[in-house]
Chain A
Amino acid sequence: MARTRDESSPLFAGNAAGTLRLIGYLALALVLMVLDQRNGWLWRMRDTAAAVVEPVYRLAGLPAAGIHSLSAAFGDRQQLTEQNQRLRQDLLLANAKLNQMAAVAQQNAHLKELLDTRNSLGLKVQLARVVGVDLGAYRYRIMLNVGARDGVKPGQPVIDAHGVMGQVRDVLPTTSVVMLITDPSHAIPVVIARSGLRTVAYGSREGDQLTLPNIPLVADVRVGDQLLTSGIGGRFPPGFPVGRVISVAPASTGMFLVAQARPAADINRSDEVLLLHDQAEPEGPPAPAAPVGPPRDLAPVTAAIDARRGNAAQAASATNRPSSNEGMRR
Chain B
Amino acid sequence: MSRYRDSRWWFIGTLAFALLLMLVPLPAALEPFKPYWPALCLLYWTLESEERVTLGLAFGVGLLADMFNGVLLGEQAMRLCAMVFIALRFRSRLRFFPMWQQTLAVLALLLNDRILLLVVRMLANEAMPPAQWWIAPFIGAALWPFLYLLLEDLRTRLRRQ
A interface vs B, CB < 8 Å?
1-5, 9-11, 14, 18, 21-22, 25-26, 28-33, 35-37, 41-42, 45-46, 49, 53, 56-57, 59-60, 63-64, 132-139, 184-185, 205-207, 268
* A60 and B23 in contact, given A22-B82, A26-B81, A184-B127 (Cβ under 8 angstroms): yes
* A3 and B54 in contact, given A29-B59, A33-B73, A185-B126 (Cβ under 8 angstroms): yes
* A1 and B57 in contact, given A37-B72, A56-B68 (Cβ under 8 angstroms): yes
A41, B126: Cβ atoms closer than 8 Å: no
Given contacts A3-B52, A18-B89, A138-B133, 17 further A-B contacts (CB under 8 A): A1-B57, A3-B57, A5-B51, A22-B85, A25-B56, A26-B78, A29-B77, A29-B81, A33-B78, A36-B74, A42-B72, A56-B68, A57-B23, A59-B20, A63-B24, A133-B25, A134-B69
Provide the residues of chain B in CB contact with A25, threshold 8 Å. 55-56, 58-59, 77-78, 81
- Bound complex: CA A42 to CA B76 (Å): 12
B133, A18: Cβ atoms closer than 8 Å: no
Provide the residues of chain A in CB contact with B127, threshold 8 Å. 184-185, 205
A137, B55: Cβ atoms closer than 8 Å: no
- Bound complex: CA A133 to CA B22 (Å): 9
Interface string of B11-40 (1 = CB under 8 A from A): 000000000101111101001001000000
A36, B73: Cβ atoms closer than 8 Å: yes
* A135 and B69 in contact, given A30-B78, A56-B20 (Cβ under 8 angstroms): yes
Residue of B nearest to A268 (CB): B28
Min Cβ gap B20→A in Å is 6
Residue of A nearest to B85 (CB): A22
Min Cβ gap A203→B in Å is 8
- B1 contacts the other chain (CB 8 A): no
Interface size class of B (residues with CB under 8 A): 35 or more
B73, A4: Cβ atoms closer than 8 Å: no
A2, B59: Cβ atoms closer than 8 Å: no
Residue of A nearest to B117 (CB): A136
Provide the residues of chain A in CB contact with B126, threshold 8 Å. 184-185
Residue of A nearest to B86 (CB): A22
B70, A42: Cβ atoms closer than 8 Å: yes
A33, B28: Cβ atoms closer than 8 Å: no
Provide the residues of chain A in CB contact with B48, threshold 8 Å. none
Min Cβ gap A188→B in Å is 16
Provide the residues of chain A in CB contact with B81, threshold 8 Å. 22, 25-26, 29
- B113 contacts the other chain (CB 8 A): no
Pick the 4 closest A-B CB pairs, nearest first.
Answer: A32-B74, A60-B23, A29-B78, A184-B127
Provide the residues of chain B in CB contact with A5, threshold 8 Å. 51, 54
